[in-house]
Amino acid sequence: MSFINNLRRKVKILEIPGMSQRLDEIFESVLYHGAHATHAQSEIQAIVDHVLEVEDARTKPLTEEQLMLRYPDLVIE
């Protein structure tokens, strides 16, 4: 369960909307509605992939093109 708690914490830190709710829905479907665990595992993996993608996009440095678009007056030599 610590993996899921860490995932929830990361989702909250990155402010990704709807992911925490989606995790709740997955667990409810398994616990209360008898959904297959393999389906839940693939859903959780999709969430993990999305979180890693967002984290990577937010932490890697901007490219020259992104810098020029964000700061048009900036001169890159």
* pLDDT by 10s per residue, the chain, length 77: 688 889 999 999 999 999 989 988 988 888 888 778 888 899 999 999 999 999 998 888 888 888 888 888 877 66
CA 73 – CA 66 distance, rounded (Å): 13
* Helix, strand and coil percent figures for the chain, each rounded to 5: 75, 0, 25
Report helix, strand or coil for 16. coil
- Which tokens go with 74? 């900036």
Strands (E), the chain: none
Report helix, strand or coil for 35. coil
- Which tokens go with 3? 């993996």
